[in-house]
Each structure stands twice: as structure tokens, then as C-alpha cells.
Amino acid sequence: MKRYLAIFGLALLGVVGTAQAQNCTISLEGNDRMQFDKKSVSVSASCPTITVELKHTGSLPVAAMGHNVVITETGDANDVAQAGIKAGAPNYLPGGDARVIAATDMIGGGQSTSITFPGNKLTAGGDYTFFCSFPGHSGIMRGTVEVTN
Ligand code: CO
């Protein structure tokens, strides 16, 4: 009987786990070769709070190989990246720009940073992009943010 209960319990956990497969963390690494470790990330708009974690696994200083994670609607990504270059160091981000849904600090090799933002700033099924706004990086350092319920 115990065994059946254990199996039933595991099955139930599996079902619940699938139904609530809510992903509330976006975790990315950047390196000295101007690359993120992922081309796409997935996150749930129903999360009360979404965490964006960035780790720079390289060793170059922020002024030479700075990385951040900026999330915008895909249609805004190029314009925001251009505005970021105009805004200049150290953050390379336009201040108070509503097109910026979330953005971490700019960091250098060996550093880590994270931020949180409300999940309801994203819409399930929407078209979002993450990128690094350091000058010259956004063309390569970018990927898709898939948003589920
Ligand atoms: Co970068």
C-alpha cells in the first residue's frame, strides 16, 4: 500500500509540476568573446516577479567588454540599442525610456548582477528580445525572450 501511495504521490507531483511550470528566472552568462550562452530564454508572464541574472564569465574590464541584459519588444531593440550608444558610458542605456522593459547594470569580467521586474510588464505570446547595449555588442549579443502564461 505504501508503495502505491508513493507512486501515486509521484504521479500527482508530476501533473502539478507540469501544470505550474512557471519560469520566473532568466539566467544568462556573457563571456570575453562577446557572446551570451543562450540564444533564447523562456519566462512566464504570470510570475509576480521575474528575476534576470547575469554572470560575466570572462576577465576583461567593463570598459572593454561590458555586458548587460536589456529586454524590449523586438521592434524596439535596434532603436533602444542606438539610443544607448548615444547615452554613453557607463550604462549605455537611455534614461527613463519606456521601451526598456528591464535592464541590468553593465558589468565586467568576474562580476555578477541581477534585477527583478513585475511579470505583468510582459504579455504571453508577445515578441520580445534581450540584448547587450554595450557599443557594438547588440548585433551579436541578442536573443529571443519567449513569454508563456
Ligand atoms: Co556586451
CA of 68 to the centre of ligand 1 (A): 6
Higher pLDDT, 113 or 15: 113
What is the Å distance from ligand 1's center to 96 Cα?
Answer: 21
Task: Specify the pLDDT at position 77.
Answer: 98
Domain map of the chain by residue range? 23-148
Measured distance CA(73)–CA(71) in Å, rounded: 7
C-alpha cell read off for 25? 528566472
Cβ atoms of 126 and 140 closer than 8 Å: no
Say how many Å lie between the CA of residue 10 and the centre of ligand 1: 43
CA of 131 to the centre of ligand 1 (A): 8
Cα torsion 116, 121, 126, 127: sign: negative
Say whether pTM exceeds 0.85: yes
Q: Which residues of 44-74 are buried (b: 16+ CB within 10 A; e: fewer)?
A: bbebeebebbbbbebebebeebbbbbbbbbe
Give me the CATH code for the 23-148 domain, please: 2.60.40.420
Average pLDDT over residues 120-147: 98
- Output the CA 134–ligand 1 centroid distance in Å: 5
